[in-house]
Amino acid sequence: MGRFKQQILTEALEIVKLYPEAKSATIPLCHLAQSVDGYLTKDAIDHIAELTGTTPAEVYGTASFYDMIQLHPVGRYVIGVCTNIACMLQGGYELLEEAEGTFGAAVGETSPDGLFTVEEVECLATCDRAPCLHVNYRYFGPLNAEGVAKLKEDLIGGQLESKVPVHGVLSRVKRQTPELIPMDEVDNLRASEDASKAERTSAQGGSNA
C-alpha cells in the first residue's frame, strides 16, 4: 500500500480523533493498514508513526507484540488450528495435519496460490467445539477431515464471504467519531435537570410537612 491513500487517510484521521492522545490510536491504525494489504507494510508503519507522533520503532514494537497483526505477507485466509489441551485431547494435532494437507501449506507457510496461510495457535476459547480452528479469527468446530475439506470448498466458492472477510479486516463495522454537543446545550440540559430536581425535592418536603 505504501503511504495511506486519501480515502484510507481520511479514515485514519477519524480514528485518531477518537482518542485523547494520538498514540492511543496505534493499534486501530495498524488494523486499518492491515485491512488494505493483509499485513503491516514498512511504509504503513512509517505513516502510522507520523499520525501518532511516535517513531516507526515504537509502532513496530507494538505491532510485533500482537498475533493478530502480521508483519509479513500472508494468504487471503489465515487458518489458525488450536492444539491446546482441550483440542489436543480431541484430535487437535490430527486436525492440524489435515489442515496442512488440505490447504496446501505447512505451519507458518502460505499455499502456492497465495490463498491460505496455516498457523498453529494457542487456545481459541471455544473449547466446547474442540477440535477447532479459526479462519481470519472467525471460528469453526468441531471439525474432522470432511469438515476441513468442506470449509476449503466454501471459502473458495464464496459461500462464507458474509462471515469471513479477507485477512486484515477485523470488523466490517467502522467506528465513527461521536458528534460533539455544544457546551451551551450541555449547560442548558444541566440547568433543566437541576431545576427539575429542586422541584421534586420541594414537593417532597411539602408533602411531608
Query: Exposed, middle or buried, 54 (CB in 10 Å: 0-12/13-18/19+)?
Result: middle
Q: Please answer whether residues 116 and 103 qualify as being in contact, where contact means their C-beta atoms are separated by less than 8 angstroms.
A: yes
**Strand, helix or coil for residue 81:** strand
φ and ψ at residue 43, rounded to 5 degrees: -65, -40
Q: Enter the C-alpha cell of residue 125.
A: 476459547
- Mapping DSSP onto H, E and C, the string for 26-58 reads HHHHHHHHHHHHCCCCHHHHHHHHHHHCCCHHH
Cβ-contact 22, 58 below 8 angstroms: no
pLDDT digits (tens, 9 = 90+) for 79-124: 999 999 999 999 999 999 999 999 999 999 999 999 999 999 999 9
What pLDDT, on a 0 to 100 scale, did the predictor assign at position 168? 75
| The residue to which cell 479514515 is assigned | 11
Residue 152: strand, helix, or coil: helix
Q: Look up residue 181 and give its DSSP letter.
A: P
Residue 207 has pLDDT above 60, yes or no: no
- Find the mean pLDDT for residues 123-140: 94
Residue 122: phi and psi, rounded to 5, are -80, -175
Q: What is the pLDDT of residue 71?
A: 94
Tens of pLDDT, residues 149-200: 999 999 999 999 989 988 877 766 666 666 667 888 888 889 999 999 988 8
In three-state secondary structure terms, 69 is coil
What pLDDT, in 10s, does the model give residues 42-89?
A: 999 999 999 999 999 999 999 999 989 999 999 999 999 999 999 999
pLDDT at site 176: 63
- Residue 178's pLDDT is 62
* Confidence (pLDDT) at 42: 94
Running DSSP on this structure, what letter comes out for residue 122? S
Q: What is the value of pTM for the model shown?
A: 0.76
